[in-house]
């Protein structure tokens, strides 16, 4: 499914326009108790941010309706191409990703001068549920549509989020303009059930292909998955940041 491959996914014009549009309807709210503000001159700034992220993630699991942030569990993606190999092509729709809120921060660094956040995370387990369209050539051509479940564990992720300070109504806000993402995934388990039934010869053939071509599928599908996650995370981050000024989140003191 995914793999040890890097994707530097800068936002395209449509994504940038969408994120900028978030700032046209600012609804500034009072800083809630689960957001820990961190002074920009705090000598333990990175540790403070890690603690704040941990508290916010607990809220993100179920969403934050007061600032129009949807639940992170699951992350919902309309559609994406998963595999594009000469003998194995597959796309997914109605995708649900579970486990993105269950992670440990291995490293986090905020560079105020470069306006970058560097972070390394370890995800305990990520599960993908989706409707799968597959077309494969094994010993003979097979094609089918049906639900698929994929699970991968101990995912290591590193990324860089770039932000800008933008002004709106004489106030300053953080705006995340781009993000790069690298995932290191060793393996996965999967189960495909075609609409003909789980015991059909089609299910056996496709599941065999998924099991026997794991490394190729990992390398092929990772860039598309990283791109989709990048887009969703940028939108999520900007929905949070549009509700609070830069000085509210990172006041100019210790």
Q: CB neighbours of 207 closer than 8 A, spacing ≥ 6?
A: 190, 191, 192
Q: Give the tokens for residue 100.
A: 């993105």
CA distance linking residue 227 with residue 2, whole number of Å: 12
pLDDT at 32: 81
H helices present in 12-169, as ranges: 13-21, 45-60
Tell me the CATH number for domain 5-249.
Answer: 3.15.10.30
Q: Is the predicted pLDDT of residue 235 greater than 50, yes or no? A: yes
* Mean pLDDT across 206-219: 83
> Helix (H, G, I), strand (E, B), or coil: what is residue 125?
strand
Q: Where do the domains of the chain lie?
A: 5-249
Q: What H or E segment, with its residue span, contains residue 109?
A: strand 103-111
In terms of pTM, does the model score above 0.75? yes
Q: CB neighbours of 53 closer than 8 A, spacing ≥ 6?
A: 105, 108
CA distance linking residue 55 with residue 136, whole number of Å: 45
CA distance linking residue 70 with residue 218, whole number of Å: 29
Structure confidence by residue, pLDDT tens digits, 113-150: 999 999 999 999 999 999 988 887 766 677 778 899 99
Structure confidence by residue, pLDDT tens digits, 5-51: 333 333 333 444 444 444 434 444 578 888 888 999 999 999 999 98
pLDDT at 41: 93
pLDDT at 1: 46
Annotate 63-83 with b (16+ C-beta within 10 A) or e (fewer). ebeebebeebebbebeebbbb
Beta-bridged to residue 155, according to DSSP, are 123
Beta-bridged to residue 45, according to DSSP, are none
pLDDT at 99: 92
Percentage with pLDDT > 90 across the chain: 32
Confidence of residue 107 (pLDDT cuts 50, 70, 90): very high
């Amino acid at each position: 499914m995914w793999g040890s491959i890097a994707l530097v996914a800068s936002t395209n014009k449509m994504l940038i326009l969408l994120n900028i549009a978030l700032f046209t309807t600012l609804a500034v709210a009072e800083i809630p108790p689960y957001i820990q503000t961190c002074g920009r001159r705090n000598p333990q700034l990175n540790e403070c941010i890690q603690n704040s992220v941990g508290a916010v993630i607990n809220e993100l699991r179920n969403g934050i309706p007061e600032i129009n942030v949807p639940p992170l569990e699951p992350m919902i993606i309309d559609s994406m191409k998963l595999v594009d190999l000469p003998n194995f092509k597959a796309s997914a729709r109605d995708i649900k990703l579970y486990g993105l809120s269950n992670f440990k921060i291995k490293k986090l660094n905020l560079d105020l001068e470069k306006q970058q956040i560097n972070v390394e995370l370890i995800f305990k387990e990520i599960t993908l549920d989706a409707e799968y369209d597959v077309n494969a050539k094994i010993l003979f051509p097979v094609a089918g549509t049906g639900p698929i479940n994929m699970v991968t564990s101990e995912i290591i992720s590193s990324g860089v989020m770039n932000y800008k300070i933008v002004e709106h109504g004489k106030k300053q806000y953080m705006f995340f303009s781009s993000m790069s993402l690298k995932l290191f995934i060793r393996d996965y388990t999967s189960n495909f059930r075609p609409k003909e039934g789980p015991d059909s010869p089609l299910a056996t053939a496709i599941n065999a292909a998924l099991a026997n071509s794991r490394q190729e599928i990992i390398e092929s599908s990772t860039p598309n998955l990283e791109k989709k996650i990048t887009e969703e995370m940028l939108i999520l981050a900007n929905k949070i940041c549009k509700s609070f000024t830069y000085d509210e989140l990172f006041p100019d003191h210790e």
